[in-house]
Amino acid sequence: MPMSISSKNKSIKKQRVKRNQSSSLERKASLTYAKSTLTRVERDSLGEIMVPAQVYYGAQTARAMQNFPISGLRFSRSFIRALGLIKQASAKINHSLGLLDRKLASTIRDAAEEVIQGKWDSEFPVDIFQTGSGTSTNMNINEVLASRASELLGGTRESHLVHPHDHVNLGQSSNDVIPSAIHIAAIEQIHRELLPALIRLQRSLLNKTRQFDKIVKIGRTHLQDATPIRLGQEFGGYARQIELGITRAKRAQEVLTELALGGTAVGTGLNTHPVFAKRVIREVSKTIRCPLRETVNHFEAQSAQDSLLEASGCLRTIAVSLLKVANDIRWMGSGPRCGLGEITLPETQPGSSMMPGKVNPVIAESVAMVAVQVMGNDATIAIAGQTGNFELNAMLPVMAYNLLQSIELLSTAAKNFSVRCIEGIVANKKTCERHIEDSLAMCTALAPMIGYEAAAAIAKESSRTGKTVREIARQRQVLSDKQLQKSLDSLSMTGPSTLVK
């Protein structure tokens, strides 16, 4: 049937709408592409370079991006925040010292606050594997703050009403700013993330210590059966490890409280006011609510990074503690039918792509992998710490990356271990009791009564025949039934005893 005139008109209108929509989308795409390809000219001491028009960073950041297309790894949010804190405090103190105009100082501080809050994180694209002093990243934030402050003053990003060197970096050098920022970022991360995570893990383990206090299981040394212990005692040992880890985390904070700020290029303090560093550090201390202080020797603070090594060593020890706990948890939960099976772990996800019903200890495994990564990070930091040639260690960015990553990994892994594993563990009391009764180590409790050699003979016969130590001892009538029952009481074996025949 032929289409009516009305239907034709409707069809034509629909086609026009589609064409208009398509054209609109094409125009938007074209404008977006044009915007992304627009550039501006920036200059530094090497000359001109083209920079994307929409970014706040400038020439030196653009050159660093060209020079270091290495890994795609970037400085963390905590580190960028620490840089912002230093620049903000520096602007305030430089104004108070009469070195910076009030309006300039105010706008730099406002721009720095935006960086501190994370508003411009995308403006920090420089790779971790860059100049060893971190100069590229120090200039990155100087340029971002200068451009943003220029805007806040009513200019454009390229107007340079605020200068990255003369105003933002006044009284500073990359060589004292970058190590100071590492310390500040690590201190804040430990306080905000690591300590709360470890405290929660310790409390979770202490709860299990109390909950499992009356459950007796077999102890193990050399992976072989040993005398009985209470499951609560075992978890108490884990809780103490984490308690000591908390102490070590606090120690790591303490060794990082000395800052290199004020040493400028080589430790002499050239081009900075004599009280600049002390006052800036005081300002940052108030902001992060942690007592910081200027180093007693700027040459040590910039040429060596021993404090980072010490802090990393504390983190490594925490990692080793977590690995010990995680592996024990995996072993005790092994099974469910053909392993130790002393505890049951929370079921978090299917464990196999081909074995139906299999559930693996995945949370403990993730903790173990984090521990290994942290140990590797510590090795990197230790090697980097050896390269403090003369007045500067030139591996600051990689040390920063590894230290801050270790703190972050330990924080998230410890919290996740608490929430998704430890707090949901259930003890398998019957399995624990069966293991104790079957153990040859039960004969240890007989030794004070019948002598070591006689007890060893019972253990040998128990192993050969498959009978329990209790059964063999009763057959040999080495003790009365009452004495035997008292000697082989597993709960009494879990504490000190009086050796009376």
| Active-site annotation, residues | 222, 352
CB atoms within 10 A of CB 189: 25
Residue 218: burial class (beta carbons within 10 Å; 0-12, 13-18, 19+): buried
The Cα–Cα gap between 455 and 160 comes to 88
Cα–Cα distances in Å, from 265 out to 260, 294, 374?
Answer: 11, 16, 31
The Cα–Cα gap between 325 and 330 comes to 9
CB 401 within 8 A of CB 127: no
The number of helix segments (H) and strand segments (E) in the chain equals 18, 10
**Rg of the chain in Å (alpha carbons):** 33
HEC string for 200-260: HHHHHHHHHHHHCCCCEEEEEECCEEEEEEEHHHHHHHHHHHHHHHHHHHHHHHHHCCEEC
SS3 430: helix
Cα–Cα distances in Å, from 31 out to 26, 34, 40, 157, 264?
Answer: 9, 5, 17, 21, 45
Place of tokens 């050796």: 499
In DSSP terms, which residues pair with 43 in a beta bridge? 48
- With both helix axes pointing from N to C terminus, report the angle between 231-255 and 306-332 in degrees, rounded to the nearest 10: 160
The Cα–Cα gap between 207 and 195 comes to 18
SS3 393: strand
Place of tokens 């290495």: 70
What's the angle, vertex CA 51, arms to CA 30 and CA 161, rounded to 5? 115
The Cα–Cα gap between 204 and 243 comes to 12
In DSSP terms, which residues pair with 389 in a beta bridge? 392
In DSSP terms, which residues pair with 220 in a beta bridge? 225
> For residue 4, what is the DSSP state?
P
- Maximum alpha-carbon separation in the chain: 117
Spatial CB neighbours of 38, under 8 Å, sequence gap ≥ 6: 52, 53, 54
Output phi, psi for 91, to 5 deg. Answer: -60, -40
